[in-house]
Copies of this chain bind each other. A is one copy, B any other.
Amino acid sequence: MVNVAVLGFGVVGSGVAEVLATNGAHIDQKVDDFIRLKYILDVREFPDSPFAEKVVHDFSVIEQDPEVSIVVETIGGAKAAKEFTERALRAGKSVVTSNKELVASHGYELLQLAKEHNVSYLFEASVGGGIPIIRPLSQCLAANEIEEICGILNGTTNYILTRMIRAGLSFDDALKEAQANGYAEQDPTADIEGHDACRKICILASLAFGRHVYPDQAPTQGITGVRLADVAYAGSCGKKIKLLGRAIRRADGAVCAFVSPHLVDGENPLAGVEDVFNAITVKGNAIGDVMFYGRGAGKLPTASAVVADVIDAAKHLGKRKYLGWGPGGAGAAVPPEDVASQWYLRLERDGEAVCAAFPKAERLSRSDAPAEELAFLTGEVLTRSALEDRLSGHSPAAAFRVLD
């Protein structure tokens, strides 16, 4: 018998309880033992829930129960979640989480704490919802030196961009629709400003390259600056605008991670990833490119990833599942200024003067463009610094990278 406690009975936590109940027989067979949900920690009562009698309000009940060997943390945030995670690990319990904020900001120290106490700290659900990515990256691609990771990591922004592209909605209208459909929070800042994608690419970068990359080391630009004009210009050259999180190991070994809107060619598999779906491509020096695709959020998909970690933790009780990375610091990631790419530029004035600085520019057109508007692809691959030089003080209305 393996006893599990779930912290936080929100969307993901209740999904975990549901998956454990629905697929219990199948899961027990996988573990070759019985998994039992013993406690649910929440400040609220759930009198109408089938799990009502498991609800407790005091974490120390769980902490002090030697029968509990696995704690599932689905509280979110980095306060109570961090405290309870540390206390659970110190009490010799493995911890499984979907909390990207906590892993991105404190993953290294929590992984160290897990190591000291010979337990597992697992977080498959923190990136890509139900899409298997953490385990494939750490195990299946273990024979590879990872060169680059590039992904559509946030379902909300991908939904908004899809609706702008396919239905011609403005950013504001697409956001309202996403909120009405439950795909965006009432305060959508973390999604639309790219913070959520930033946390996820930091986790992937840390895992792939071996040192903790913190969110403040990954420059992040969201999608609030994307206009229908940009969608139209991208479409005119067979491309789509996607918010990408990228982590790159440069030839000199330096790592950089960043999040920003990109123009993605229609032939690239990432261009076909629509609505709330996520996809992550990984380039390894032996395997080439592989892509993982699926629902990046949602109750049951995310719970499915959490429960897979519970199964793994249960199979490794007493012999710790290795997963981790080294400490971060100033040298763990460099800014992406030196990452060269072609650029898309849209100018609302001075377009001709700016365009003249790019002799290989490919002019773009769209219907109903204002007279003063001018958009083009640079035609040349440039670092951001080289781009700034060419712009010599001009400030484009939009400047997005073009994915190779």
Binding site for B on A (CB under 8 A): 15, 19, 22-23, 26-27, 30, 32, 124, 130-132, 135-136, 139-145, 269, 272-273, 284-295, 298, 300-301, 303-308, 310-312, 315, 319, 322
Task: Tell me if A22 and B288 are in contact (CB < 8 A).
Answer: no
Q: Give the residue name and chain of the B residue nearest to A299 (CB).
A: B286
Q: How far is the CB of A98 from chain B (nearest CB, A)?
A: 13
Q: How far is the CB of A150 from chain B (nearest CB, A)?
A: 13
Q: How far is the CB of A133 from chain B (nearest CB, A)?
A: 9
Task: Tell me if B292 and A290 are in contact (CB < 8 A).
Answer: yes
Q: In the complex, A307→B289 CA distance in Å?
A: 17
Contacts of A319 in B (CB 8 A): 319
Contact of A308 among B140, B292, B303 (CB under 8 A): B140
Task: Tell me if A290 and B140 are in contact (CB < 8 A).
Answer: no
Q: In the complex, A301→B304 CA distance in Å?
A: 28
Q: In the complex, A311→B306 CA distance in Å?
A: 24
Sample of 4 further A-B pairs with CB below 8 A, known A132-B136, A135-B135, A272-B272: A23-B145, A132-B132, A143-B308, A287-B300
Copies, count? 2
Q: How far is the CB of A126 from chain B (nearest CB, A)?
A: 13
Q: List 14 A-B contacts (CB under 8 A).
A: A23-B144, A132-B136, A135-B135, A140-B308, A142-B312, A143-B303, A272-B272, A284-B304, A286-B307, A287-B295, A288-B301, A290-B294, A290-B295, A292-B293
Q: In the complex, A312→B131 CA distance in Å?
A: 21
Q: How far is the CB of A144 from chain B (nearest CB, A)?
A: 6
Shortest beta-carbon contacts, A-B, top 5: A132-B140, A143-B307, A290-B294, A286-B304, A291-B293
Q: In the complex, A288→B155 CA distance in Å?
A: 15
Task: Tell me if B286 and A19 are in contact (CB < 8 A).
Answer: yes
Q: How far is the CB of A138 from chain B (nearest CB, A)?
A: 8
| Most central of A304, A305, A306 by chain B CB within 10 Å | A304
Question: Known: A136-B132, A307-B143. Is A295-B301 also a contact (CB below 8 A)?
Answer: no
Q: How far is the CB of A187 from chain B (nearest CB, A)?
A: 27
Contacts of A294 in B (CB 8 A): 287-291
Q: In the complex, A143→B305 CA distance in Å?
A: 8
Q: How far is the CB of A111 from chain B (nearest CB, A)?
A: 15
Q: In the complex, A272→B274 CA distance in Å?
A: 13
Contacts of A269 in B (CB 8 A): 269, 272-273, 293
Q: How far is the CB of A29 from chain B (nearest CB, A)?
A: 8
Contacts of A311 in B (CB 8 A): 139, 142-143
Contact of A312 among B22, B32, B139, B307 (CB under 8 A): B139
Question: Known: A288-B295, A290-B292, A301-B288. Is A308-B139 also a contact (CB below 8 A)?
Answer: yes
Task: Tell me if B290 and A131 are in contact (CB < 8 A).
Answer: yes
Q: In the complex, A208→B30 CA distance in Å?
A: 12
Contacts of A272 in B (CB 8 A): 269, 272
Q: In the complex, A29→B306 CA distance in Å?
A: 27
Contacts of A295 in B (CB 8 A): 287-290
| Most central of A15, A130, A301 by chain B CB within 10 Å | A130
